[in-house]
Amino acid sequence: MYKVLKREQIVPNIHLLAIESSSVHQNARAGEFVVVRADERGERIPLNLVDWNKDSVSMVFMEVGTSTSKLASLKPGDEIATLAGPLGKPTEEVQGKKIACIGGCYGIGALLPVIRMFKEKGNHVTTIIEARSEFLLYWQDKLREYSDEFQEITRDGTKGHKGHINDVLVDYIKKNNVDMVYVQGCTYLTYLCSEITRPSGIKTIVGLNPIMVDATGMCGVCRVIVAGETKFGCVDGPEFDGHQVDWDNLIARRKIYINEEISSLSFYECERYG
């Protein structure tokens, strides 16, 4: 069992979770993830690592189904059943590049270790975060610390640019000589950004979130088709070249258990709230 040190809702439905761990940090690198299981009956789910030290690791997640609802109800001092990691391949370290980093939803948090690494390697980092409204944006100060430029987008215009990532990213890559785009967030955002940069051919690395079970390469549920080849998200990824990903397949595979996820959540809510 692993002790919860902190669990707080950063903005509605987005939570920070810090778990006691003395082993995960020693090999942890930006872009990697951990697997957690809330309790003995829980599912194993992958969460991006956002921070780590010799005593703990932190993750940011969005509350959406049973597993994340269980995690969202944790209090300091509670315990979770599983914490394993770091897992996956770390973000490729590049130097001296101009990189646009885009984050949405839980991906805003997941950007943090990656832009910190990019900055430390001497890259020029432009961070762009997006949400529906200002109250859903977070961690601007933390992200600014490692960003040369910083932009916010809200759909309702309550903060920064009003509109979608489309307008901002298209404009930005037109005006700037961008070497690389890096995206963390939901499948739709990663897909969208890959399509935006496809005509220009700017290398676009996306952090994907296929369904996983063991997350060590054993089960193969996280299969992603990349450049026509089947890859395992957990050990070959979770980051891939967005221009090579078979998005239709990924989006369909994300929905394999959608009916079960809905019934599981109602079952859990019934058990919990009666």
Partner 1 sequence: MAKIVPKKTAMREQPAMERTKNFNEVPYGYSEQEAIQEAKRCLQCKRPTCMQGCPVEIDIPGFIDLIAQRDFRGAIKRLKDKNVLPAVCGRVCPQEDQCEKLCVLAKKYEPVGIGRLERFAADWEATQGEAPVPKKPKPTGKKVAIIGAGPGGLTVAGDLIKLGHAVTIFEALHAPGGVLVYGIPEFRLPKVIVYREVDYLRRCGVNVVFDFVVGKTATIDQILHEYDAVYIGTGAGLPWFMNIPGENLNGVYSANEYLTRSNLMKAYLFPEYDTPIVRGKRVAVIGGGNVAMDCARTALRLGADAVHNVYRRSRKEMPAREEEIHHAEEEGVIFDILTLPVRYMGDEHNWVKEMECIKMQLGEPDASGRRRPVPIEDSNFITPIDTVVCAIGQSPNPLIPQTTPDLKTGKWGNIEINPETGKTSKKGCWAGGDVVRGGATVILAMGDGRVAARSMDDYLKTGVW
Question: Which residues contact partner 1 (rule: CB under 8 A)?
Answer: 23-24, 26-27, 35, 37, 41-44, 66-67, 81-87, 213-214, 216-221, 223, 225, 230, 235, 248-249, 252-253, 255-257, 260-261, 263-264, 267-268
Is 68 or 127 the residue whose CB approaches partner 1 more closely?
A: 68
Considering the complex, what minimum distance in angstroms separates the CB of residue 87 from partner 1? 6
The structure tokens 């990189």 sit at: 99
Is 158 or 264 the residue whose CB approaches partner 1 more closely?
A: 264
Cα 186 to Cα 103: distance, rounded to the nearest angstrom: 9
Is 103 or 210 the residue whose CB approaches partner 1 more closely?
A: 210
104: amino acid identity, one letter: G
The structure tokens 């051919």 sit at: 201
Is 82 or 133 the residue whose CB approaches partner 1 more closely?
A: 82
Residue 37 backbone zone (phi > 0: left; psi -120 to 50: alpha; other: beta): beta
Considering the complex, what minimum distance in angstroms separates the CB of residue 96 from partner 1? 28
Angle between helices 187-197 and 247-254 (to 10 degrees): 170
Is 34 or 192 the residue whose CB approaches partner 1 more closely?
A: 34
Cα 162 to Cα 154: distance, rounded to the nearest angstrom: 5
- Listed in sequence order, the residues at least 6 apart from 100 whose beta carbon sits closer than 8 Å to its beta carbon are 126, 128, 169, 172, 173, 176, 178, 180, 181, 182
Considering the complex, what minimum distance in angstroms separates the CB of residue 24 from partner 1? 7
Considering the complex, what minimum distance in angstroms separates the CB of residue 252 from partner 1? 3
CA 195 → CA 129, 130, 241, distances in Å? 18, 17, 12
Considering the complex, what minimum distance in angstroms separates the CB of residue 272 from partner 1? 13
Assign 90 to helix, strand or coil.
coil
